A = this chain, B = another copy of it.
Amino acid sequence: MGRIAVTDGMDDQAIMTLENAGHEVASNHYSIDELLDGVLAEFDAVVVRSATKLSADVIESSSSDGSKLGFIGRAGVGVDNIDISAATQNGIIVCNTPGASTRSVVEMTIGHFIASARNIARADRSLREGIWEKKALKGTEIAGKSLGLIGLGRIARGVADAAASLGMDVHAYDPYVQSSPDWINMHDDVDDVFRSCTHISVHCNLSDETRHLVNTTRIGMMPGVGNDGTECGNHIVSCARGGIVDESDAAMALENGQLRTLALDVFETEPLGDSPLLSMDGFHGSPHIAASTLEAQGRIGTEMVSLLMEYFETGRPSTSLN
């Protein structure tokens, strides 16, 4: 039986299952000072989401003599808040739940594309202000347009399927994938995706290679006219990670019309403070909620429980990141 720290919350059902199995679960968010003081060394396992940052320093502090910490679980996908090599050096296994939120992010991406092309947020806002803006809110369809996916992992493939069923042509760039469905137009040069598509959706990790990948030059390559001849303008959605879209370049493109809409669920700085985007009609924002659904939370909890059970039974879950 183990002691498990849950620092950023987890599904109630999952916590109950662990407790019923005899584990001790402490649901507690720790400050960075507490983490650096080695508070996690008292636990066998820690489960985080994105709020708790497990830097090399924190991992070192959690791995002093007498430390029991052997398992870091990320309830979710992105592990940019965890220094995996520091964990490996200290003999700590790192696991995430990569598939659990796919469907939620796919739906959010499609929702953002339709909502922004059809002015759904602006329509609701002006209606609440007592304005009947019918004439000003003409939109465009997503059917008959080309969608470019930056990255072709699990979520992007889900978006590709949904977009194709809604009548879009799908293009993609991902130098790390070996194979892809033959109906997706793969490009070796990311610029070609921007040249081919009025709609771009970002699905890669944030890295030195992808930081500010969406910038003035590439937005400038987007055609603004759909395959069907419609002057639909250019549209970008990112539910991936902040920093891949250069927000200041994108704001400029919204301002000068090269970009008609920009929907961001993720930002270079979160929480988003003051931003020129917030006063622009073509901007649509959400506070990093693409994976925030009851369903994803439930699936994450179930997967994390399995990983923890395996860890406590065998010392090694069947899947891990290190």
For A295, list chain B residues within 8 Å (CB): 140-141, 143-144, 228, 230
Within 8 A of B (CB), among A120-172: 120-121, 123-128, 130, 132-134, 137-144, 161-162, 165-167
Whether a CB of chain B sits under 8 angstroms from the CB of A292 is yes
For A139, list chain B residues within 8 Å (CB): 104, 289, 292-294
* Binary flags per residue of A93-120, CB closer than 8 Å to B gives 1, else 0: 0000000000110011011101100111
Within 8 A of B (CB), among A269-322: 270-274, 278-279, 284-289, 292-298
Copies in the complex: 2
**A: interface residue count bin:** 35 or more
Given the known A-B contacts A120-B111, A228-B295, are A287 and B133 also in contact in the complex, defined by CB atoms under 8 Å? yes
For the complex formed, measure the closest distance between the CB of A264 and the CB atoms of chain B, giving whole angstroms. Answer: 9
A and B contact pairs by CB, cutoff 8 A, 29 listed:
A103-B143, A103-B167, A107-B142, A107-B166, A114-B114, A114-B115, A115-B115, A115-B121, A118-B286, A119-B286, A120-B120, A120-B121, A120-B286, A123-B289, A124-B125, A124-B285, A124-B286, A126-B287, A127-B287, A128-B285, A130-B274, A130-B278, A132-B270, A133-B287, A137-B289, A141-B293, A144-B295, A165-B165, A228-B295
